[in-house]
Structure 1
Amino acid sequence: MAAILGISAFYHDSAAALVVDGKIIAAAQEERFTRKKHDESFPENAISYCLNEAKLTPAELDYVGFYDKPMLKFDRLLQTYTAYAPQGFWSFAKAMPQWLKQKLHLPKEIRKGLGGKFRKRIAFAEHHESHAASAFFPSPFDEAAILTVDGVGEWATASFGTGSGNRIQLSHELRFPHSLGMLYSAMTYYCGFKVNSGEYKLMGLAPYGQPVYIDQILDKLIDLKEDGSFRMDMSYFNYCQGLTMTSSRFHDLFGGLPRQPESKLTQREMDLAASVQLATEEIMLRMARHVHRQTGMKNLCLAGGVALNCVANGRLLREGPFERIWIQPAAGDAGGALGVALFIAHQMLNHERVPHPVLPQAASALGPEFDRDSIRNHLDSKQAVYTELSSNEELCQRVAQLIDQGNVVGWMQGRMEFGPRALGNRSILGDPRNREMQSKMNLKIKFRESFRPFAPSVLQEQASEYFDFPSDQESPYMLLVADVAEARRLPVETSSSVQGFDLLKQIRSEISAITHVDYSARLQTVDQDRHPLYHQLISEFHAQTGCPLLINTSFNVRGEPIVCTPEDAYRCFMGTNMDVLVVGQFLLLKEEQPEQPNRINQDYIDQFELD
């Protein structure tokens, strides 16, 4: 037996993953245990969970892998600071203490974090090597092209190559400071959202605007080549030498200072979002076409933070040259922990890899689960009022009925998902036909911006009836955007006077709560193999209502990580205006609880940093 622990830490979204004999056993982000969103500390809780899941001790591990090479990253930082000296002094002064104390001593930190009981080899993969491994090895393909795109690893900001059998090989890379991830993050910062967590808000904002700034981006900010490579004019940016993303020249180009966080969003931010989104899609399409020409492969695997841009992914699927695309569900830094573990298993130790259409990533349900007794004990400790249902059939019938009646349901089942998306195990569910549901869930449940769209979970077998989506294509990880089918749309009065958030008032389809203002939806297809219980619930809702889909949003509020435990789920339920909580076979109605029903618990909301 070869047991391999993969770790990502100290930069963004720390995580741990365990692979045994080439099989993924467990993976989880540290934030889910500490309740600190994007926790970057050493993932001691995630490691403990992974080891417990496999009933292993640190001493029984054969390898530990880290997802990047800190000395190469330190080299990049020093060269960058030197090139911009003396301008980069304050950024240098802020970064160095953690490097000198912790990041330059990672073997020592890792062994300390494992209680001093692991004395075998620690392996370090390059950052984009970890991304590439996480993209290809769990994929259903025997061979594929690989494309990784993010902010920056050591030096690389994008790379491509191929995977075949149990080997990957990266052949080309784009290097810092020229970075698609950094370009998108710079606009995220300029529009008043938090870098490394607000990029998906910018993507959701884009359909409200027009790409009126696309020429400024392509003519001034970047010099884009036909193969998707580009150079950035660094005089517009400040991330190499300063503590902000953009420079005064950037501000002059786009007509003013960055938007203050939490201030009113204007048409300028909407148009900026639309412009950088369009630029991102064009760059990704050019990259994909070049990779296809260079590799001749028919399949593509994607990872890196930019691979979470599901709008760009949807265009790649529709307009790109590849027949099939597979995207790592934990495409960001957290997925690097899984990638390095798989890299060691297959590339270094030569473990056999057998591609499978569902396994090994399955439903990305790689986190903790809780048995009936532990759930009951927690609910009893809170004096919660609940009904324990006797069968999955009875559970699904009751929950489907409650959703049809307009209730918002917190749904916690099985193992927690690995990655940023809730996929039916830690989800908040609602009726997509309900015209009030989008604003209700945003403002009263999630406590987030009203413009944010919600995603549908649709039965795989009905997906092409409701969306412009090929019947033989899957989107099990909610990483592809498709348009609502023409047959499901409703007539909308078009007027140039209706702009910005006024577009929200228009009812665009019979499934209005998940239809974005451009008729798009971030799609999750649900099949019986990956999600048997969730598939059963949606099938029951379909039988009762004729609608084969549900709203699915992550079980958390703004600023909080997705819930992990029954305790997390109960606190979120009682701290919001959620109507129903389902944990395993236990069903709770808010109106029956001993605490004050239907009252927002501000103490609960205030404990999380809003981003």
Structure 2
Amino acid sequence: MIVLGISAFYHDSAAALVRDGEIVAAAQEERFTRKKHDARFPENAIRYCLREAGVDGEKVDRVAYYEKPFVKFDRLLETYLAFAPKGFSSFRKAMPLWMNEKLFQRDLLQKALSALDPALGGADKLLFSEHHFSHAASAFYPSPFPRSAVLTMDGVGEWTTTSLSLGNGSDLSITKEIHFPHSLGLLYSAFTYYTGFKVNSGEYKVMGLAPYGEPKYASLIFEHLIDVKPDGSFRLNMDYFDYCTGLRMTGAEFDALFGAPARTPEQPLEQRHMDLAASIQAVTEEIVLRLARSIAQETGEKNLCLAGGVALNCVANGKLLREKIFDGLFIQPAAGDAGGALGAALAAYHLQEGGARRISGDRDAMKGSYLGPAYDQADTERELERIGARFSVVDEDGLIEETARALASQQAVGWRQGRLEFGPRALGGSSILADPRSPKMQKNLNLKVKFRESFRPFAPSVLRERVSDWFEMEGDSPYMLLVADVKESRRREMTQDEQDLFGIDKLNIVRSDIPAVTHVDYSARIQTVHEDTNPRYHRLLSRFEALTGCPVLVNTSFNVRGEPIVTTPQDAFRCFMGSDLDFLAVGNCVLRKQDQDQSLAKSYESAFELD
């Protein structure tokens, strides 16, 4: 049985295809359209999934959509009635879109599917899941656990913002929910907005900014903004928020509480913004830990799965892991709305169609999250020749050797190999790589390659078998969703003068043997690289270790700020030529910046809308 899953029309549209319960393909629409967080119908992602599976619409048994639009419309109406007449202007702006499109989403979906392939658009094929159930299914069914509790947390689905589900074999059911407007995700987004970053894309910047500050406002948040019970359940004080009725996240009362209006993106970051980031991060971690403890106590389950946008908060995830509340922890790598497409497909297969669940044992079923498109060597060479790139073709041994030596000489490397990652993280399929031992690498990559804020940390990729030699971690972290500290023996103790530095001035202080991936609090967002899921990347790390003694590389997504992760060889070459990357490896093709026709270099710094 073949099930196609779709998420669309809010943000991060995606498609996923499941055959007899096995995940065959999954991709976000943005990777094809080059529009960050593209919310449009994912026609390119669907075409890719069908092509990867080798099927047409006739062979697809079910098409599953990740949420229920009518229930979401019910929330919009009830919210307006609850707050009326306040918020009429935003309600008036939303109504035409709902009346013209979203209320008729079944028809819209069927027409769009039929335009791709008439056999896809049949009314008998289309199913609708619920938003949080899709999240829960995306986490539980690929997990390695026969049974598990499942915690989902995000901004809002139809009504639900937080849910607890229980999974056992092929069965999955939601047992508890917290409803809109009370939302941990929207609380975090309110601080994202207030500190001057873009909602739905800047939350990870707040998380990265937090270690530069102190949680001075945490008690103020608990006292005025959110009432949290011992079991982690919560209610927000809506007097301070404007997202129910306005077009902003926060209102005048919020500004008054924290003593200033919201920062605009152009204004400089100050210490208070870092302290605000540290405060909302501390509050989020406390709520997640309370929820987890109460779930373990109430359900008796030994394993926990996580999904929803809040599950991308890898700092909170790392603390949850270290608390050892559960024996096993699995986090869906595409935890946001894109992963809802996969969850809808899996829920349809297992629950609607009664398909049996096959558990892979110790490893999850996400295949390293390498579920997107790949390009064979012949196609890669043809594409690079067409666009005027100058390259040499080497065998795999040569590719590994030349790339490892470029890295060891502290060159910045673009690395596009194999299938593209599904989800927001680059995991060695489409990555920018660098030497973590360089004290200047973090700042240089941020400012000259990624064109982004200098305070943002980079993540390390490390050989799975060597992770405990370099970090305070023993287990797997294949999806870069867990934070742990650099091992104490690898750290350099900071002087008192260095510790007293202001905020971002701490950035350039060497704090460990791998300063480019060591955040100011000695933490790192770790990806463990496994030989079975990405053998070529594992070989590269192994060779780099042989050359340098270090089994760690800087790994950041292959893009510039505001650009989706590169997909095609042309995307990779364009980014290579438009930034200060020195070396590019695409398939078995090797390119060096000094060899290229410099007339092909285009300014990339302003090519994409900033995130």
TM bucket by the smaller chain? Answer: over 0.9
Query: Is the 2:217–2:279 contact (alpha carbons within 8 Å) kept by the matching residues of 1?
Result: yes
- Which of 526, 534, 537 aligns to 2:537? It is 534
Distance apart, 1:151 and its partner CA: 0.5
Counterpart in the other structure of 1:143: 147
* C-alpha distance after superposition, 1:170-229 (max 9, x if no partner): 100111100000000000000000000000000000000000001110000011100101
Q: Does 1:366 align with 2:368?
A: no
Q: Does 1:18 align with 2:11?
A: no
Output the CA distance in 2 between the equivalents of 1:166 and 1:97.
41
Output the CA distance in 2 between the equivalents of 1:304 and 1:533.
31
Counterpart in the other structure of 1:58: 57
Counterpart in the other structure of 2:353: 349
* C-alpha distance after superposition, 1:390-427 (max 9, x if no partner): 2x222111111100001000000001000000000000
Q: Superposition pairs for residues 566-581 of structure 1, below 5 Å?
A: 566-581=569-584
Distance apart, 1:497 and its partner CA: 3.5
Counterpart in the other structure of 1:41: 40
Output the CA distance in 1 between the equivalents of 2:156 and 2:357.
29
Output the CA distance in 2 between the equivalents of 1:250 and 1:560.
32
2:444 maps to amino acid:
K
Where in structure 2 are there 5+ consecutive unaligned residues?
none
Counterpart in the other structure of 1:547: 550
Secondary structure of 1:161 counterpart: strand
Counterpart in the other structure of 2:208: 204
Distance apart, 1:547 and its partner CA: 0.2
TM-score where L is the length of structure 1: 0.97
* C-alpha distance after superposition, 1:446-490 (max 9, x if no partner): 0000000000000011000100002xx100000000000000001
Output the CA distance in 2 between the equivalents of 1:327 and 1:281.
16
Q: Superposition pairs for residues 113-262 of structure 1, below 5 Å?
A: 113-114=112-113, 115=115, 116-118=118-120, 119=122, 120-262=124-266
Counterpart in the other structure of 1:96: 95
Distance apart, 1:56 and its partner CA: 1.8
Output the CA distance in 2 between the equivalents of 1:363 and 1:4.
21
Counterpart in the other structure of 2:477: 475
- Which of 493, 496, 520 aligns to 1:517? It is 520
1:96 maps to amino acid:
M
Query: Is the 2:440–2:508 contact (alpha carbons within 8 Å) kept by the matching residues of 1?
Result: no
Output the CA distance in 1 between the equivalents of 2:585 and 2:195.
37
Distance apart, 1:506 and its partner CA: 1.2
Output the CA distance in 2 between the equivalents of 1:143 and 1:512.
40
Output the CA distance in 2 between the equivalents of 1:499 and 1:165.
52
Q: Does 1:501 align with 2:500?
A: no
Counterpart in the other structure of 2:607: 607
Output the CA distance in 1 between the equivalents of 2:324 and 2:338.
27
* C-alpha distance after superposition, 1:90-119 (max 9, x if no partner): 211222222112211122111111224331
Counterpart in the other structure of 2:397: 393
Q: Superposition pairs for residues 4-15 of structure 1, below 5 Å?
A: 4-15=3-14
1:339 maps to amino acid:
G
Query: Is the 2:2–2:59 contact (alpha carbons within 8 Å) kept by the matching residues of 1?
Result: yes
Secondary structure of 1:606 counterpart: coil
- Which of 424, 433, 436 aligns to 1:432? It is 436
Output the CA distance in 1 between the equivalents of 2:225 and 2:321.
27
Secondary structure of 2:415 counterpart: strand
Q: Does 1:318 align with 2:322?
A: yes
Output the CA distance in 1 between the equivalents of 2:350 and 2:435.
44
Counterpart in the other structure of 2:273: 269
Query: Is the 2:439–2:508 contact (alpha carbons within 8 Å) kept by the matching residues of 1?
Result: no
* C-alpha distance after superposition, 1:357-400 (max 9, x if no partner): 3352111011111011111011111221111002x222111111
- Which of 414, 421, 425 aligns to 1:421? It is 425
- Which of 435, 445, 449 aligns to 1:445? It is 449
- Which of 491, 494, 505 aligns to 2:493? It is 491
Report the number of matched residues. 604
Output the CA distance in 2 between the equivalents of 1:592 and 1:84.
63
**After TM superposition, which residue ranges in structure 1, 4 or more long, deviate above 3 angstroms?**
none
1:87 maps to amino acid:
K
Secondary structure of 2:460 counterpart: strand
Secondary structure of 1:441 counterpart: helix
Output the CA distance in 2 between the equivalents of 1:580 and 1:330.
29
Where in structure 1 are there 5+ consecutive unaligned residues?
none
1:584 maps to amino acid:
G
Moved more, 38-47 or 491-500: 491-500
Moved more, 52-61 or 247-256: 52-61
Output the CA distance in 2 between the equivalents of 1:360 and 1:448.
34
Distance apart, 1:596 and its partner CA: 5.0
Secondary structure of 1:153 counterpart: coil
Query: Is the 1:289–1:320 contact (alpha carbons within 8 Å) kept by the matching residues of 2?
Result: no
Distance apart, 1:320 and its partner CA: 4.3
Output the CA distance in 1 between the equivalents of 2:157 and 2:364.
28
Query: Is the 1:400–1:540 contact (alpha carbons within 8 Å) kept by the matching residues of 2?
Result: yes
Distance apart, 1:335 and its partner CA: 0.2
Query: Is the 1:429–1:552 contact (alpha carbons within 8 Å) kept by the matching residues of 2?
Result: yes
Secondary structure of 1:451 counterpart: coil
Output the CA distance in 1 between the equivalents of 2:211 and 2:94.
37
Secondary structure of 2:119 counterpart: coil
1:534 maps to amino acid:
Y
Output the CA distance in 2 between the equivalents of 1:59 and 1:40.
26
Query: Is the 2:140–2:305 contact (alpha carbons within 8 Å) kept by the matching residues of 1?
Result: yes
Distance apart, 1:505 and its partner CA: 2.2
2:493 maps to amino acid:
P
Output the CA distance in 1 between the equivalents of 2:269 and 2:59.
53
Output the CA distance in 2 between the equivalents of 1:483 and 1:491.
14
